[in-house]
Structure 1
Amino acid sequence: MWSADDVARAAVRRQGQGLSVAQVADKVAEAQRRERETRQQLHSPAVGCDPYDGDPEDLAEQWVARHAEWRRVAALTDAQGWPVYSPEGDVQGSTWARGRDAQREGALPRRAAWQMERQDERDEWKAQVWLSAEVSRRLRVIAARTGLEPEQVLAQLADQVRMDDDGALAVDAFIPP
């Protein structure tokens, strides 16, 4: 849902709060080092990679974004003359954070609806039924008289069936809608 830039901005806002100018400079240097290391890993053969390791391209992209964001925060604290970084005073960072929050708030109902739809799909059951020629003919006649497809007639029957205490199945007379 979030891009590498979004993740970097959120992480830097969270980690940067209250850091001095010197500490922010240290974060810039660390991000630069990590960006360089992850780029080098991209160009070196994958020796001894664990199947649970993350995607090296994704990791490199994240460190590029963090390095850029730490540089932006360093430039902002320098330009504003702040002794420490304050996310509340970071107008651009606050605008981005509000946008992410709005995106998340919009995504939550869509995700819930998607999960409900998936649950409904899991609860549905599709079956392939082989019927004798006689039963198949009767089913087709019933379907033609009711204006339904044979599968719809079977679904209506299944919807109306009940089981007695002794395990016998019974269907009361009904008229398909």
Structure 2
Amino acid sequence: MWSAQDVARDQVRRQADGLDVAAVSEKVAEAAVRERETAERLRGNGSFYAFDMGRERLAVIWLARHAEWRRVRDLMTAVGWGVYEPELDAQGSVWAREREERSSSALTAQAALGERRGEEADELRAEVWLSAASSRLVRTVSGRTGLRPSEVLDQLVERIVVSEDGTVSVPPFTPSL
């Protein structure tokens, strides 16, 4: 759901909270080493981390983390912050809000899909073969009301009542548009 940049920005934002410029500079150096190592391993066949993550994805994430650590360091230096405070980082805050909105939208869409699937599981689709006499009755009602025969049957089915002893009946009603 999140891009490598989203992952990097989120991790750096959380990890940098309260760090001073020297600590952030150390993180920049560490990220540079990790970026170089993953790029080298991506090009070669050497052993890789025991992560269940593709080599390409890991290399891109370290590239993005290195860039984000540099951005935080440069921001702190330019503004003169003693320590990094995520709430004061305007660009980082915008990105964090965008990530949260995308995440919320994705979760809402996932919930809606689950609800639709649940409703579909409750639906019953059936093909009904009526006797000639029943068919004539449905067609007659259909002709009088202007409904299609299937719409008359839909209204009939919606009004089914099951009693305690299991008998099924439909109270009298007039089909309508």
TM-score, normalized by length of structure 1? Answer: 0.72
Q: 2:27 aligns to what SS in structure 1? A: helix
1:7 paired residue number? 7
- Alignment: residue pair count: 175
TM-score, normalized by length of structure 2? Answer: 0.72
Q: Determine which of 118, 122, 126 is the counterpart of 2:116.
A: 118
Q: Which moved more, 1:40-49 or 1:7-16?
A: 40-49
CA distance change for structure 1 residues 153 and 59 in 2, over 3 Å: closer, same or farther? farther
Percent sequence identity is: 45
Q: Which amino acid aligns with 2:120?
A: R
Consecutive unaligned residues in structure 2, runs of 5 or more: none
State the 1:174 CA deviation. Answer: 1.1
Consecutive unaligned residues in structure 1, runs of 5 or more: none
State the 1:47 CA deviation. Answer: 8.8
State the 1:173 CA deviation. Answer: 1.5
2:32 paired residue number? 32
Q: How does 1:53-132 map to 2 (within 5 A)?
A: 53-101=52-100, 103=101, 107=105, 111=109, 114-115=112-113, 118=116, 121-122=119-120, 124-131=122-129
CA distance change for structure 1 residues 55 and 159 in 2, over 3 Å: closer, same or farther? farther
Q: 1:127 aligns to what SS in structure 2? A: coil
CA distance change for structure 1 residues 86 and 165 in 2, over 3 Å: closer, same or farther? closer
Q: Are 2:18 and 1:22 aligned?
A: no
Q: 1:18 aligns to what SS in structure 2? A: coil
CA distance change for structure 1 residues 124 and 148 in 2, over 3 Å: closer, same or farther? farther
Q: Name the CA distance, whole Å, in 2 between partners of 1:124 and 1:154.
A: 19
Q: Which amino acid aligns with 2:155?
A: Q
User: Is residue 12–residue 69 contact of structure 1 (8 Å, CA) maintained in 2?
Assistant: yes
Q: Which amino acid aligns with 2:160?
A: V
Q: How does 1:34-49 map to 2 (within 5 A)?
A: 34-44=34-44
CA-to-partner distance for each residue in 1:78-133, whole Å, 9 max, x for gaps?
233433222233333234334445x3597389548735752563355141324156
User: Is residue 5–residue 65 contact of structure 1 (8 Å, CA) maintained in 2?
Assistant: yes
